[in-house]
């Protein structure tokens, strides 16, 4: 397992699949997961693409230092680490694929370092939710983001394998589609990853940095047309994600200059895990469609 050069004193663990010189792809996982969320997608793409799959800061085998979350675990910091890895590997014209936290990091990477990217293939969250986040239904779903701000979260979950397993099982069961059941070996792996003392707290550094959907939605403003993300973007919008109803896709064109919303039926929040063929084909299509590297 290679480690990246340090950015802000954080190294990323990553896997690399396929052949150097093939069209490059970087795949970014979500919470509560790690880089193995993307294993089946990477396998689908490895025959024709150069696929890089890192653990984000605070996740998996990447560094998880006890630092100010706002400076070191938010979208800008995560994107710096991913950009540093791509720079280190000499990759440009990259298709960035991500879901959940990984989607937000990919979007920030497109805003900050567009010259690295050829296209985005992401799932929600997407900008444009606004104050709809305060509705009764959404707030019943997003309770965990407020909970993650509390010291109580650390006291109840961190370092407790049984609590970690129960907590992760809830999200992998509740957020997934009706035909998906998280496998015991998958849950075993994630429990082992999130159970060491400090691992759970590091993983929620994203939320403590203000990276959650609630904080972002209430603070967002519509950019001028010239400030929209210019990297061609595909949103794969699942049918059964309780966090992000499809009607929330109505304003993405206000934030992206070139965006397509593609419905993905039958699946929930974990699109790369629940429908890896759909996700990988969208990445391959984006790489082929967008022509020369940016």
- The answer to whether position 280 is within a domain reads yes
Q: How far apart are CA 216 and CA 213, in angstroms?
A: 5
The answer to whether the beta carbons of residues 239 and 266 sit under 8 Å apart is: yes
- Give the model's pLDDT for residue 293: 42
60 in the Ramachandran plot: left (φ > 0), alpha (ψ -120 to 50) or beta? Answer: left
Q: What is the mean pLDDT of the chain?
A: 96
Q: Taking Cα atoms as reference points, which of 34, 64, 33 lies closest to residue 171? A: 33
Q: Which two tokens stand for residue 271?
A: 């699109």
pLDDT digits (tens, 9 = 90+) for 228-279: 999 999 999 999 999 999 999 999 999 999 999 999 999 999 999 999 999 9
**pLDDT band at 292, cuts 50/70/90?**
very low
Give the β-pairing of 233-238 and 259-264: parallel
- The answer to whether position 247 is within a domain reads yes
DSSP symbol at 6: P
Give 106-154 as a DSSP string.
Answer: HHHHHHH-GGGEEEEEE-S--S--GGGGGSHHHHHHTHHHHHTTSHHHH
- The answer to whether position 294 is within a domain reads no
- The answer to whether position 28 is within a domain reads yes
- Give the model's pLDDT for residue 11: 98
Residue 88 has pLDDT above 60, yes or no: yes
**pLDDT band at 148, cuts 50/70/90?**
very high
- The answer to whether position 146 is within a domain reads yes
Give 163-222 as a DSSP string.
Answer: HHHHHHHHHHHHSS-TT----HHHHHHHHHHH-STTHHHHHTHHHHTT-SHHHHHHH--P
How many domains, the chain?
Answer: 1
CATH code, domain carrying 190? 3.40.50.1820
- The answer to whether position 183 is within a domain reads yes
pTM (predicted TM-score): 0.96
**pLDDT band at 215, cuts 50/70/90?**
confident
- Give the model's pLDDT for residue 289: 86
Residue 211 has pLDDT above 90, yes or no: no
The answer to whether the beta carbons of residues 62 and 9 sit under 8 Å apart is: no
- Give the model's pLDDT for residue 290: 57
Cis peptide before 32 (omega within 30 of 0): yes
The answer to whether the beta carbons of residues 176 and 135 sit under 8 Å apart is: no
Q: Which two tokens stand for residue 15?
A: 């896997």
Q: Which two tokens stand for residue 214?
A: 């609630």
Residue 294 has pLDDT above 50, yes or no: no
Find the range with the poorest average confidence among 61-70, 128-137, 258-267, 269-278.
128-137
- Give the model's pLDDT for residue 24: 98
- The answer to whether position 110 is within a domain reads yes
Range of the structural domain that residue 250 is part of:
14-289
């Amino acid at each position: 397992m290679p480690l990246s050069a340090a950015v802000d004193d954080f190294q990323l663990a990553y896997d690399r699949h396929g052949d150097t010189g093939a069209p490059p792809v970087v795949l970014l996982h979500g919470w509560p997961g790690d880089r193995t969320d993307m294993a089946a997608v990477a396998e689908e793409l490895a025959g024709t693409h150069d696929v890089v799959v890192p653990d984000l800061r605070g996740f998996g085998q990447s560094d998880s230092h006890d630092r100010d979350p706002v400076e070191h675990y938010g979208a800008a910091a995560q994107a710096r680490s991913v950009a540093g890895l791509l720079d280190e590997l000499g990759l440009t014209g990259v298709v960035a694929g991500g879901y959940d936290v990984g989607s937000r990091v990919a979007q920030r990477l497109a805003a900050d370092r567009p010259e690295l990217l050829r296209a985005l293939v992401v799932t929600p969250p997407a900008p444009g939710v606004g104050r709809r986040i305060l509705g009764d239904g959404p707030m019943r779903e997003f309770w965990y983001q407020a909970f993650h701000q509390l010291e109580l979260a650390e006291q109840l979950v961190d370092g407790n394998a049984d609590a970690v397993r129960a907590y992760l099982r809830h999200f992998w069961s509740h957020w997934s589609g009706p035909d998906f059941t998280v496998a015991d070996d998958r849950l075993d792996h994630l429990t082992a990853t999130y159970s060491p003392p400090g691992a759970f707290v590091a993983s929620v550094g994203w939320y403590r940095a203000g990276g959650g959907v609630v904080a972002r939605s209430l603070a967002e403003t519509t950019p001028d047309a010239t400030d929209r993300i210019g990297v061609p973007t595909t949103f794969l919008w699942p049918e059964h994600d309780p966090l992000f109803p499809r009607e929330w896709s109505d304003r993405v064109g206000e934030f992206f200059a070139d965006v397509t919303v593609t419905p993905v039926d039958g699946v929930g929040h974990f699109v790369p895990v629940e429908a890896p063929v759909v996700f990988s084909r969208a990445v391959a299509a984006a790489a082929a469609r967008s022509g020369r590297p940016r």
